[in-house]
Structure 1
Amino acid sequence: MNSAPLPAPVFVRLARLSPAPDGLTLLRSALHARRLLLLKALLVRVHRHRESVEPGALGRFDRAWDLLERVEERHPAVVRDVLDYPTTGAWLADALAESPGPAFDRLLGHLDNLAVTAALRAGGPLDLTVETPDGLLPLPGVGRLAVAADRVRVSAGERTVRFHPDGARHPVPAVLRLTGGHDGVLAGHGPGWRAVRPLPGGSALLDDLDPYRVPFGGGGGTVVAAADPADTDHAAWAATWCAARDLLARTDPGRAAEVARGVRAVVPVVPRGPRHLGATLSAAPGAVLTSLPAEGQGMAETLVHELHHSKLATLHELVPLYGPGRGAVHRVGWRSDPRPIAGVLHGAYAHLALADLWWRAVTADGVPAAWRSAAGQQFDDIHDQVGEALPILLESDELTANGREFVRQMGLHHASLGATPLVAG
């Protein structure tokens, strides 16, 4: 990876859950380097085994790669934004894990969607025909067009985009317009077009459309099902998001700012049981998969918890914290099933972030009384559970030297939370 080394002070601040901007900035740089590395690995694999790729799929992949390179020459920030979008990582993970064959060829077709999205966001003329499996053309981070055809011609001028289904005499009524200038913002309207909607007050999106928002088969042991876009109550999601942002701002302004910077997409998923479900994909940091919480408190806690899973996943790619698992599993207080050492570390880090949040909820001014009371009770339980997990981590020979130091610094922050008495009332 061609990313800058991790300065020791930033490493310590990340371990101690500091929301200082330099940590997230460095992790974003590491994420981008990782994306470029994986994309290059996919290119090498395709060309090393090109005889096993269906010729049409190979030609479309090469064309999309060339288009992406041309757009990057003129608008590198737009291409970077498309490549760093969380679902791009999920797609890359699926593609690199897939065996040669028709399924792999279909996965390669998504590069067309990425390249077209970048080209349209960059503005300027474009005229090419792309495959639309199942009659859908997804534009990651922008929206999705439904067309009654297996192929569609995308025709763009400087500011306007039209779509011509294969065999149709006229373009579909849906139109996209470039509205954001250098920001590359596309707005669409018309039958068949669904936009990925922004959440209020920031840059995060409520993404219920991307085909890779939830991995096939659940991925990584996280069994989640994407919610049907027809069931998305955008007003309810926006209201809960705003309530969570307000609660975080009252409780911990630094953490609220970190969530605003670090969460790029909220993905609605189907709940399991009476409690709402939250999850993160290690291949897609910056995306929070969650069912709709009943109130802002649940959303605030989910955002903080899942963001720290994202941070740790990105950090581990930059500075390995543990080695390959050897089958050992351990009991932890927050799960009923035994966890491998990676799961113990991830869980301890994300739950320590919750303990930190709840400690601040109890001690901060202006926090609603109901959450203050609940936070105090939850803090006691989670603080104890993390305290039981830290020795498991420190005694494991699966941690690297960096991993051991990371856990030691986590322990110092854990001790600092327990050493300060909670404020009642």
Structure 2
Amino acid sequence: MNTAPLPAPVLARLARLSPAPEGLTLLRSALHARRLLLLKALLVRVHRHRASVEPGALGRFERAWELLERVERRHPTVVRDVLDYPTTGAWLAGALAEPAGPAFDGLLGHLDNLAVTAALRGGGPLDLTVETPDGLLSLPGVGRLRVAADRVRISAGERTVRFHPDGTRHAAPAVLTLTGRRHGVLTGRGPGWRAVRPLPRSAARLDDLDPYRVPSGAGGGTVVIAADPADTDHAAWSATWRAAQDLLGRTDPGRAAEVARGVRAVVPVVPCGPRHLGATLSAAPGAVLTSLPAEGQGMAETLVHELHHSKLATLHELAPLYGPGRDAVHRVGWRSDPRPIAGVLHGAYAHLALADLWRRAVTAEGVPTAWRSAAGQQFDDIHDQVGGALRILLESDELTVSGRQFVLHMKLHHASLGATPLVAG
């Protein structure tokens, strides 16, 4: 992605963990530009190699593209929101990496889901039939409909959407209603319909339904498995999210606001042994993959940690911070396995954010005593580990000019955190 150099003050503020809204706004613009670039790359690939695409899949892809363009002319904000949803990035990455064949043709069908979601959120008349593999119609960020058919006709008026399995005249009991035209908010009811639930006081959703919420191969060396939607305790997730937001609000209001704005999807995953698991996909910034923490403290730490992985992934696409991967690997304090320079930088940035959070927790008023005590101990450990990682980064020749400047500002922030002793209240 070719872009103009980042202004030095913006790079510095991001490196020093500033939660100021303008940083997140810039990263969101970069994310959207990246999504458009990848979507255009997929279109170019399909057109250049159309002879290798099954004719039915090709026709559906082209019709979905035309629908998306029509909706974009009338409702650009809605289309942008759908394209920028985290799982759209995971789908695009998977589709572009898949070799030609039936699996690739199947992946192309997801554009139908994106276009239909945008059209329904935009409102207005719509009458079309789409394929429903495995009897499922997925509307990213909205919900999922299960039907006993391989295709479904969708008929929509200004505010009401009805589904007709196999194109029959009789509508299925499930109905969607456009309740918030300004932001394209859809609500549903009826048998076969499951909604993606919103999380309190934020733009985030608890997404346990999207087919691309945990793509195969997610998590790198850690096995990440999507939790079964039947096991999702929505009340427990909402309560833990609310507790985390309250805790962040007392500890660092700016960070709490950044989390509320920056995290768009929380994806329940299966725990890894006795400890809860948190992960981020570089192709899906804004999604936090996590098992349910035991309490708000664990959720707060996971959200801050994973959000900074998302921020760095988006920033690296905008202004590359390191060069292509090499064979060199390095030992860091928070991992038992050696890490490439990209892993060292990602880990250092996310753990620097935790160190910042823990330092604030020690002195903030209204923080539970148990967390205050644990935060002081965790800060001491992670502060030293991040310091070691920063030395590795600054000795490396794999960083770009922007990357070296970024790490130098990280080092300044790291030093400021340890400038005075911690005093536990």
SS at match of 2:267: strand
Deviation at 1:66, TM superposition (A): 0.3
C-alpha deviations, 1:345-376, integer Å up to 9, x for none? 00000000000000000011121111100000
Distance 2:423 2:366 in 1: 13
Q: Could you tell me whether the CA contact under 8 Å between 1:3 and 1:30 is conserved in 2?
A: no
Distance 1:167 1:326 in 2: 54
SS at match of 1:419: coil
1:95 counterpart letter in structure 2? A
Q: Could you tell me whether the CA contact under 8 Å between 1:352 and 1:386 is conserved in 2?
A: yes
Distance 2:152 2:95 in 1: 23
C-alpha deviations, 1:206-244, integer Å up to 9, x for none? 000000000123264452000000000000000000000
Aligned positions of 1:276-425 closer than 5 A: 276-425=276-425
Identify the range of structure 1 (372-381 vs 5-14) with the bigger mean alpha-carbon deviation.
5-14
SS at match of 1:194: strand
Query: Counterpart in 1 of 2:91?
Result: 91
C-alpha deviations, 1:11-68, integer Å up to 9, x for none? 1000011111111100000000000000000000000000000000000000000000
Distance 1:420 1:347 in 2: 24
Deviation at 1:170, TM superposition (A): 1.6
Change (3 A) 1:258 1:317: same
Distance 2:414 2:86 in 1: 30
Query: Counterpart in 1 of 2:239?
Result: 239
**Percentage identity across paired residues of the two chains:** 88
SS at match of 2:362: helix
Deviation at 1:341, TM superposition (A): 0.5
Matched, 1:39 2:39: yes
Query: Counterpart in 2 of 1:214?
Result: 214
1:282 counterpart letter in structure 2? S
Q: RMSD across aligned C-alpha pairs, in angstroms?
A: 1.1
Distance 1:382 1:44 in 2: 46
Change (3 A) 1:18 1:272: same
Matched, 1:183 2:183: yes
Length, aligned pairs only = 425
Change (3 A) 1:150 1:48: same
Query: Counterpart in 1 of 2:156?
Result: 156
Query: Counterpart in 2 of 1:199?
Result: 199
Distance 2:174 2:289 in 1: 29
SS at match of 2:130: strand
1:403 counterpart letter in structure 2? G
Distance 1:273 1:251 in 2: 30
Deviation at 1:131, TM superposition (A): 0.6
SS at match of 1:188: strand
Distance 1:254 1:420 in 2: 22
1:100 counterpart letter in structure 2? A
SS at match of 2:145: strand
Q: Could you tell me whether the CA contact under 8 Å between 1:71 and 1:119 is conserved in 2?
A: yes
Distance 1:185 1:139 in 2: 12
Distance 1:85 1:98 in 2: 21
Change (3 A) 1:117 1:184: same
Query: Counterpart in 2 of 1:30?
Result: 30
Query: Counterpart in 1 of 2:60?
Result: 60
Query: Counterpart in 1 of 2:80?
Result: 80
Q: Could you tell me whether the CA contact under 8 Å between 1:135 and 1:146 is conserved in 2?
A: yes
C-alpha deviations, 1:283-331, integer Å up to 9, x for none? 0000000000000000000000000000000000000000111111111
SS at match of 1:33: helix
SS at match of 1:187: strand
SS at match of 1:182: coil
SS at match of 2:333: coil
C-alpha deviations, 1:58-94, integer Å up to 9, x for none? 0000000000000000000000000000000000000
Query: Counterpart in 1 of 2:110?
Result: 110
Structure 1, unaligned runs of 5 or more: none
SS at match of 2:69: helix
C-alpha deviations, 1:177-209, integer Å up to 9, x for none? 000011100000000000000011121100000
Distance 1:317 1:409 in 2: 19
Structure 2, unaligned runs of 5 or more: none
Name the TM-score, length of structure 1 as normaliser.
0.98
Q: Could you tell me whether the CA contact under 8 Å between 2:323 and 2:399 is conserved in 1?
A: yes
Q: Could you tell me whether the CA contact under 8 Å between 2:3 and 2:319 is conserved in 1?
A: no
1:287 counterpart letter in structure 2? A
Deviation at 1:5, TM superposition (A): 4.8
Stretches of 4+ aligned residues off by more than 3 angstroms: 1-5, 219-222
